[in-house]
Amino acid sequence: NTNYADLSFLFALHRGSPANAHLGREYLALLETTHRTPFYLNLHDQDVAHTVVLGATGSGKSFLLNFLLTHVRKYDPYTWIFDLGGSYRRLTRRFDGSYVHVGLDRRTFTINPFTLPPTKEHLHFLFSFVKVLLQSSGQYTLTLDDDRDLYEQIANLYEIDRDQRRLFTLANILRRPLGQHLQRWVQGGQFAELFDHLDDTLTFARFQCFDFEGMDKYPQVLEPLLFYVLHRANAAIYDPAQADVFKLFVLDEAWRFMRDPTINAYITEALKTWRKQNAAMILATQSSEDLHRSAMLRVVVESCATKILLANPSLDRQAYRELFGLNETETGLVAGLVPRQQLLVKQAGLAKVLNLFVDSDAAALYTNAPNADTEPTGSADQASAIPSTRRS
């Protein structure tokens, strides 16, 4: 009951689990309780490891995510990161990953969605993807007749020569209203350089980071970009040959710009089904506004086995209680967390304040600072929370 939960913070020394039962491996990371006892952190609850991370600006969100990404390397996973500001550049370099800047005028790859094989799943995605382009910025709402025409013409596109399968061709064979609203995305249009190409050269490394820095200023462009890259990664997640490999997808802030109902439905479905593919999603934000306006955030929280709350002294207590199922004591603990040091982990039957202390080399690796771009020494794979140098 609630009274027991309140008292548990004073008397229960929960140690977590030294083993990750789902993966059949050891715990993810070792942290420290407020009693200075070790706590074995795992994100999995049975086969579900989806996690939401929320903290105010300066609370240590990027530091924590870099910490988690480093420690999950012990499972040799596939890792994909969507970022909006360069928080994972050093980590990606450290793990010999691929770091790709994505922008209107800064890309190292080309995209042609119609190079995807015409499977039922891909055709459904292509329909949804083009629908997002057509409806971006609220410029147009498709009718039922539009939906039928769009799906039919996408299928027809695969009946013509391969070198004609591109967005420009689709715009020309669609009925006039739809074709007109695709003009800014095709040859001669404002955003033609994004998706209207003959070839698709987008590839994925085992550790892959996409940096969409600056693209939050162009939400009508960011949404379809995120959607396409997410779908490409999704195909890898469903690869039967990788069924036994853990897959981790980190959406840091970028997911807040996925406001189109079509994309929200796609993410919601992924949260439901990825666990069966040995995959997990971490969604992180520092925007307290999400608590009030984002229906998507509520879906995310309900789907996540683990909630990690960072310091927020001015938090909306009622919103936190309603959204995260906190009691009054737990809400007070979040308000009193030490920035860049403490976190509250909320899981089924557990709410625990933990300290994140790391050694100096690990701190240098995890820190996201403009003047901190040198490589730390030592092995990041061996970085541990205890024993450690405490950060003030």
What was the pLDDT predicted at 370?
45
Q: Which residues pair with 310 in a beta bridge?
A: 343
For residue 82, is it left (φ>0), alpha (ψ between -120 and 50) or beta?
beta
Per-residue pLDDT tens over the stretch 222-251: 889 989 999 999 988 999 999 999 999 999
Q: Which residues pair with 48 in a beta bridge?
A: 45
What was the pLDDT predicted at 323?
87
What was the pLDDT predicted at 253?
83
Tokens of 337: 């967390």
For residue 325, is it left (φ>0), alpha (ψ between -120 and 50) or beta?
left
What was the pLDDT predicted at 293?
62
What was the pLDDT predicted at 378?
38
284 neighbors 250 (Cβ within 8 angstroms) = yes
Tokens of 72: 């999950």
351 neighbors 343 (Cβ within 8 angstroms) = no
**Tokens 């936190």, located at residue:** 320
For the chain, helix (H) and strand (E) counts, in that order, are 15, 13
Spans of the chain, pLDDT less than 70:
1-12, 106, 254, 288-295, 369-392
Helix (H, G, I), strand (E, B) or coil at 185: helix
What was the pLDDT predicted at 380?
38
Count the neighbouring beta carbons within 10 Å of the beta carbon of residue 240: 6
167 neighbors 114 (Cβ within 8 angstroms) = yes
